[in-house]
Structure 1
Amino acid sequence: MLTANYSHPSIMRLFLFFLCIFRWFLFSSAAFKVTHLPGLLQQGALPFHLETGYIEVDEVYGVELFYYFIESERNPSEDPLLVWLSGGPGCSAFNGLSLEIGPLKFISERYNGSLPNLVYHPYSWTKISNIIFLDSPVGAGFSFSNHPQGYESGDKSSSKLAMIFLRKWLIDHQQFLSNPLYIAGDSYAGKVVPLVVHNILNAENDMEQQPKFNIQGYMIGNPMTGELIDFNARVPFAFGMGIISDELYQRIDENCKGEDYKNPKSSPCASLLQIFDNFKSELWDEQILEPKCSLDAPNPKYTVGTRRSMNVQESNTVLFGPPIPELKCRTYDYYLMYIWANSNIVQEALNVKKFVSLHSGDHDMIFPFVGTKEWVKSLKFSITDRWRSWHVGGQVAGYTESYSNNLTFATVKGAGHMAPVFKAKECLAMFRRWISHKLL
């Protein structure tokens, strides 16, 4: 887990598991208050404030980003405003809302043709923070473009559109302008979140840009930091976990020095990595202690431009969907989420535009902490607080180390990809301490 805090634009805390005359945009968002959700096993209105909506971020191609906004259950006027980006790239933000840090959780029960059931999540980060769950990049979740070229986006362009979204959202929600602002995300979002923050800080130097962001930091969990580091880290990770032998590890180290383990150039290296892949293929690399299950990502049969789309029958059942994992598998929740979000009655409740469909999925041996630590080392920051354990409820919750330039690295003991999915209580405690500027 990586995070960064800013008490001033020139001062950064990074924590890894983030005109003199006012010229306001003439803009009105399509905000919609959601009071009831189909499938929620609770009588009456939602126990939290939920708003959904679209904001246009590209007038040329008609790109509109969909969002879920949930107010803090503690003190919305003073608590931080967190913008959450899911990984993928291309996962819906509902992935974070219902499987990780939001106030909803699916009940893992066999799908019987009716709408999957949801319950309130007691370890939601919305207990202490306002959160915008943003479907970004365009094509993720319910975000869409009116032109095929609008879907042709990369990390840089999507990060700029995310900043445009936030600026317009704050103009329409000026009561949150003074709240401490944090940008967060996990997995592939580890590459995008810092770009969003970078764009925000650069924009702060432009006096004509309004409103100003009260940016305080960012957090990235189980992050992708760079393909070479992340993929190469899987071998020492597997060795450290006792998955591969001393001999195989040493032979890979001797024969693959300096090579990209994903695309090895020499035959000896490629042969050894194939042996490694055979060991790796027997495990679920999102959490190596849990059962290996089928893929959790939808596999669309049709593509519109560069956007993935899915057909839904009139009966509300998904015609082309993800493979169905065994009920015992954690990935079964992804399958339930897919069914739930593609239901017509759910999309009506969320006020979703009819021609948009949802796709989701997460693909930790994926981005091992070994690689994340290696990335931190490459920054060459001096250590200010050496490796130690951090605790929740009197038990070790993980290990942490702090560096100069306000950078902190932390592991979450027993968590997989992504950490809040597996250790919700511990991750909420970590987040609470972080936004309060306390040590883990």
Structure 2
Amino acid sequence: MPRQRTLTSEAAGGRLLLVVVAVLLCLSVPLGRAAPPGAEVAEFPGFTGKLPSKHYAGYVTVGQHEQRKRHLYYYLAVSERNPSLDPVVIWINGGPACSGFSAFLHSFGPFRMEGSQVHINDGPRVAVNPYSWTKMASLLLVDSPAGVGYSYADHEDDYTTDDTSRVADLYDFLSKWFAEYAEFLSNPFYVAGCSYSGVIVPVLAHEIIKRNEESGGVKINFKGYSLCNPAIDVDIENNAHVPYAFRMGLISDELFQSLVTTCNGKYWNNSNPSCQENMEQFYTQIKGINMEHILCPPCRYKMGITNQFIEYDSGQMFESLSKTSKHGLECNDQELALEKLFDTRSGREKLHAKKVEVSGPWKRCPKRVLYTRDILTLIEYHLNITSKGYRVFIYSGDHSLLVPFTSTLEWLKKLNYKEIEKWHPWYLENQIAGYSIRYENNILFATIKGAGHVPSDYLPFEVFAAYQRWIDGAASL
């Protein structure tokens, strides 16, 4: 009988061990097992070799309640560090209607385009990006709104849209995406963007918080958001160009003093004839300046100031460029390179995108999307979110004229938050990498010294280092 008890005890222990092992096995299942069938990406266009981490792609359909469906394309690159614990960052591209793949390949994604001459002569090639944010987080991009990149709509009318409609679709997208990738629900979640997405990111963050506070539905583990050179307030942005140009030595002392006198601080949309006359001189003096980066060759982007440029990053800056320009690699046609990469049958198959007959030609910033900015200031959204303690990182390339860092500082002042750490340098490898201010309510601001409008396009290492410090929990750089 004692022997029987021993066997029974051992059997019970064995059953317990099996349960523990089963639980541990479940916990150790590689991320992505819960992904939709066929979502894993095995190859990336233009890249040879093993992908640096698990990648997934596909579509999420939104707008069913309207009986007009829009199909938003997404691409997920899982963290290379610790995907079960690392944050998930969704990238909302600017434009206001441009594909996130351009940021993935020119800024912070797992791949970077090789030399531009290669694109023109031999076809596009991409290589591993040593400063990819996937080394600290899982990156999720979504082509938004419908009509951008691989995303498409069932009805042509849905290619006419605005900020409010776009945010509604993005939240719908996220709630359904997390239902398909539920293993990421417990990970810290951040929303990120640059330029025009400064209009979208705070509104989407506000919507996530509001829905989280409601009963029922998906609960996203939202922690905060980040923005670079963001469009926040139309008046502040557009009135910042003149003083910034003066500070950077782009206009004369005499013209600046005349502008101050005749415009009285309102340089944009001023009906005063004397102010308008001086503004015409201002436009003439900066006509040849690259608004993306005032020190870079002027051929890379469309030059001069138009109403579209003044109001927001219009997406036209990436129009076709001369392949024979004197200025070299920077002046080659990067639009053509991206289209050669993504608008092919093989590229679509590798990335699980619909055929061109369904989604239309791949365009980074397609002309078929007619977009209206209907949210002109975001200051109240920032106040609402930051008052609840969510983390915010705002960073600016200090050589962007399109959305100057001075305009960002201006709207930050309007939040009326105390400066915990006043303007001071931040360092990387014992060198000054920029300047920073830390505000109360978890707001961190930093400049990236020498960078342009999308800072990681110009100084990816510096942006990578700053972003990793912040997303890993540092209060200051």
The TM-score normalised by the length of structure 2 is 0.77
Larger Rg: 2
User: What is residue 311 of structure 1 aligned with on the other side?
Assistant: none
Give the distance between the partners of 2:56 and 2:467, measured in 1 at CA: 23
> Deviation digits for residues 62-109 of structure 1, max 9, x if unmatched?
101101100000110000000001100011010121111101111123
- Say if 1:233 and 1:371, in contact at 8 Å, map to a contact too: yes
1:68 is the counterpart of 2:75: yes
**How far off is 1:416 after superposition?**
0.2
User: What is residue 359 of structure 1 aligned with on the other side?
Assistant: 363
1:58 is the counterpart of 2:63: yes
Secondary structure of the residue aligned to 1:83 is strand
User: What is residue 316 of structure 1 aligned with on the other side?
Assistant: none
- Gaps of at least 5 residues in structure 1 are 1-26, 298-320
**How far off is 1:112 after superposition?**
4.0
- Say if 1:29 and 1:54, in contact at 8 Å, map to a contact too: no
Secondary structure of the residue aligned to 2:140 is strand
- Say if 1:237 and 1:370, in contact at 8 Å, map to a contact too: yes
1:254 is the counterpart of 2:258: no
> Deviation digits for residues 262-320 of structure 1, max 9, x if unmatched?
433122111111111112211111011110015479xxxxxxxxxxxxxxxxxxxxxxx
Q: 1:69 to 1:331 in 2, by over 3 A?
A: farther
1:410 is the counterpart of 2:416: no
> Deviation digits for residues 10-63 of structure 1, max 9, x if unmatched?
xxxxxxxxxxxxxxxxx99576221112322x3x33232221110001112110
User: Which of the residues 246, 254, 257 maps onto 1:239?
Assistant: 246
- Say if 1:296 and 1:332, in contact at 8 Å, map to a contact too: no
Give the distance between the partners of 1:244 and 1:107, measured in 2 at CA: 36
Q: Which amino acid aligns with 2:128?
A: Y
The CA RMSD over aligned residues, in Å, is 2.1
1:46 is the counterpart of 2:37: no
**How far off is 1:123 after superposition?**
0.2
User: What is residue 12 of structure 1 aligned with on the other side?
Assistant: none
Secondary structure of the residue aligned to 1:329 is helix
1:159 is the counterpart of 2:167: yes
Give the distance between the partners of 1:385 and 1:161, measured in 2 at CA: 38
Alignment of 1:9-24 (within 5 A): none
Give the distance between the partners of 1:193 and 1:437, measured in 2 at CA: 20
Secondary structure of the residue aligned to 2:291 is coil
Give the distance between the partners of 1:161 and 1:231, measured in 2 at CA: 29
**How far off is 1:222 after superposition?**
1.1
Give the distance between the partners of 1:163 and 1:126, measured in 2 at CA: 23
> Deviation digits for residues 382-410 of structure 1, max 9, x if unmatched?
21111101111111111001112221211
User: What is residue 133 of structure 1 aligned with on the other side?
Assistant: 141
> Deviation digits for residues 180-200 of structure 1, max 9, x if unmatched?
000000000011000000000
Q: Which amino acid aligns with 1:411?
A: T
**How far off is 1:246 after superposition?**
1.1
Q: 1:437 to 1:45 in 2, by over 3 A?
A: closer
Q: 1:179 to 1:241 in 2, by over 3 A?
A: same
Identity of aligned pairs, percent?
34
Q: 1:246 to 1:190 in 2, by over 3 A?
A: same
User: What is residue 349 of structure 2 aligned with on the other side?
Assistant: 348
Secondary structure of the residue aligned to 2:468 is helix
Size of the aligned set, in residue pairs, is 386
**How far off is 1:330 after superposition?**
6.2
Give the distance between the partners of 1:348 and 1:322, measured in 2 at CA: 26
Give the distance between the partners of 1:70 and 1:88, measured in 2 at CA: 22
The TM-score normalised by the length of structure 1 is 0.83
User: What is residue 277 of structure 1 aligned with on the other side?
Assistant: 283
Q: 1:31 to 1:184 in 2, by over 3 A?
A: farther
Q: Which amino acid aligns with 1:341?
A: F
**How far off is 1:175 after superposition?**
0.8
User: Which of the residues 223, 226, 229 maps onto 1:222?
Assistant: 229
Secondary structure of the residue aligned to 1:328 is helix
- Say if 1:30 and 1:54, in contact at 8 Å, map to a contact too: no
Q: 1:340 to 1:28 in 2, by over 3 A?
A: closer
The worse-fitting range, judged by mean Cα deviation, of 352-361 and 383-392 is: 352-361
User: What is residue 18 of structure 1 aligned with on the other side?
Assistant: none
User: What is residue 308 of structure 2 aligned with on the other side?
Assistant: none
Give the distance between the partners of 1:132 and 1:257, measured in 2 at CA: 44
The worse-fitting range, judged by mean Cα deviation, of 112-121 and 139-148 is: 112-121
User: What is residue 20 of structure 1 aligned with on the other side?
Assistant: none
Q: 1:330 to 1:215 in 2, by over 3 A?
A: farther
- Say if 1:74 and 1:127, in contact at 8 Å, map to a contact too: yes
**How far off is 1:343 after superposition?**
2.4
The worse-fitting range, judged by mean Cα deviation, of 349-358 and 373-382 is: 349-358
- Say if 2:45 and 2:342, in contact at 8 Å, map to a contact too: no
1:81 is the counterpart of 2:88: yes
Give the distance between the partners of 2:465 and 2:331, measured in 1 at CA: 23
User: What is residue 287 of structure 1 aligned with on the other side?
Assistant: 293
Q: 1:349 to 1:296 in 2, by over 3 A?
A: farther
User: What is residue 106 of structure 2 aligned with on the other side?
Assistant: 99
